[in-house]
Amino acid sequence: MKISFRVGNLLVLIILMTGIGTYAEDKPTKKETPEEQYKKLEKDQYDSREKILKKYRAVPDSPNQKSEQQKILKEYSAISDEFGEKILQLARENPQESFAVKAYAGVIFSDKLTPKDVENLQKYHSKSKEIGSLILSFSFRGINTKNPELTSALSALLESIVKDNPEKDNRGLAQFILVKSEVSKFEKEPGNESEAKKRAAEIEKRFNKLIEKYGDCPSVYAFRKGETLGDLAKKELFEFQHLRVGLVAPEIQAEDIDGVKFKLSDYRGKVILLDFWGDW
Amino acid sequence: MYPHERSLVKKYKDQPFAIIGVNSDRDKTSLKKRIEEEKITWRSFWNGPQGTGGPISKEWNVSGWPTLYILDQKGVIRYKSVGSNEKAMDKILHELLEGSSKKKE
């Protein structure tokens, strides 16, 4: 009995040693590709977040519940920042890899995005299909950032997409964002009267060209079923022509909630806060 | 939103100022109840039974709620924004309503 026990122990030891041996030998040859590293980071991020969320949901009903939950939320954002940093780092080390497009999506609106990042996106990915979902967010936020270098890098990226991207939808989207950014630049500083007139005409021309060339592309609002980029651009053009700061607001003539007809212009002479609202 | 608007109504009650809503609720009955509960004294156009897809918000190309415009005494658009930015609105209203009548100072 005693002997066999010792033999057993020895066997375990041998197995363990071989295990370590193989592990140590395998490591250098099994080096993960950047793509694999990225996938692993994404997965780890997801798992860690899930774990924290589980903890969040499990906080018992007590007077401390809120503060406990606050603490957990802080943990959540710390973890997100930590992984975000790693993912960004990996993208910066491997800007030519296709995962970089997805990796950059996570920081596209943070102050971490540098002109250099955008230059790399332009250099390696202006022909990529996935770049469409990356730039989509700019159709809502615009590209006019506080950093003029970043803004011009973004504008150059969009110009490249319009020029080189094989996907018509991506070209149309990039063109739409460029025209919209002209609109917001104009709204901020229209310049003197004659200059403003010239610029406004130029913007209208660009809208019309967009409608003609990319009118059948999908709208940026996925939830508006059946709306095309052309429909949307027409509305944006109308808004530019009639609803921009500095113009007289169009008339509204409709019923109030009690069914009594009235007009917006009934209130001329007063400063009006016009509120498109809903109680939901 | 409502408390800020109520405070504006109170603040500018003796000034040429009005809040005009464009309401996009579909159900008018429950809306009327809410208007009473929230003491919404200002008038609203009704955007019709299609709710947010109604004709007024469609013509004004509204894509987010609330969307706010400030018009001056001549009906000129002086401010617009998707989402409520109380500070920015207060500033414009102050300029339009108190800037011109400096008698108070």
**CATH code: domain of residue A164:** 1.25.40
Q: What is the pTM of this model?
A: 0.72
Which residues in chain B are contacts of A275 at CB distance < 8 A?
5, 19-22, 66-68
A118 and A58 in a common domain: no
Domain presence at residue A158: yes
- A20-24, A133-137, A155-159, A245-249, range with the lowest pLDDT: A20-24
A150 and A168 in a common domain: yes
Whether cis (ω within 30° of 0) applies to the bond prior to B66 is yes
Which candidate in A176, A207, A276 is best for mutational testing of the B interface (most B CBs within 10 A)?
A276
Which candidate in A248, A253, A257 is best for mutational testing of the B interface (most B CBs within 10 A)?
A257
Q: What's the rounded Cα separation, in Å, for the pair A172 and A181?
A: 14
Which residues in chain B are contacts of A267 at CB distance < 8 A?
18, 20
**What domain range is A8 assigned to?**
1-31
A241 and A181 in a common domain: yes
So where are chain B's domains?
2-11+18-94
- How is residue A94 written in tokens? 């491997």
A7 and A46 in a common domain: no
C-alpha separations of A220 from A130, A187, A264, A273 in Å: 15, 22, 31, 29
Mean pLDDT of chain A: 89
**Model confidence over A111-125: pLDDT tens digits?**
889 999 999 999 999
A276: nearest CB among B8, B18, B24: B24
Q: Do residues A261 and A255 touch, judged by C-beta distance below 8 A?
A: yes
A81 and A40 in a common domain: yes
- The pLDDT of residue A2: 47
Q: Which of A5-14, A129-138, A165-174, B96-105: highest mean pLDDT?
A: A165-174
- The interface pTM score, or ipTM, of the predicted complex is 0.94
Span A83-106, average pLDDT: 93
Per-residue H/E/C for A213-225 = HHCCCECCCCCCC
Give the H/E segment covering residue A148: helix A148-164
Domain presence at residue A5: yes
Which residues in chain B are contacts of A264 at CB distance < 8 A?
20, 75
Domain presence at residue A274: no
A244 and A130 in a common domain: yes
Domain presence at residue A25: yes
For chain A, the domain total comes to 3
State in words which class domain B2-11+18-94 has.
alpha beta
- The pLDDT of residue A224: 78
Domain presence at residue A105: no
Q: How confident is the model at residue A6 (pLDDT cuts 50, 70, 90)?
A: low
Domain presence at residue A209: yes
Identify residues of A whose CB sits under 8 angstroms from chain B CBs: 221, 235-236, 238-239, 243-250, 252, 254-257, 262, 264-265, 267-280
Q: How confident is the model at residue A3 (pLDDT cuts 50, 70, 90)?
A: very low
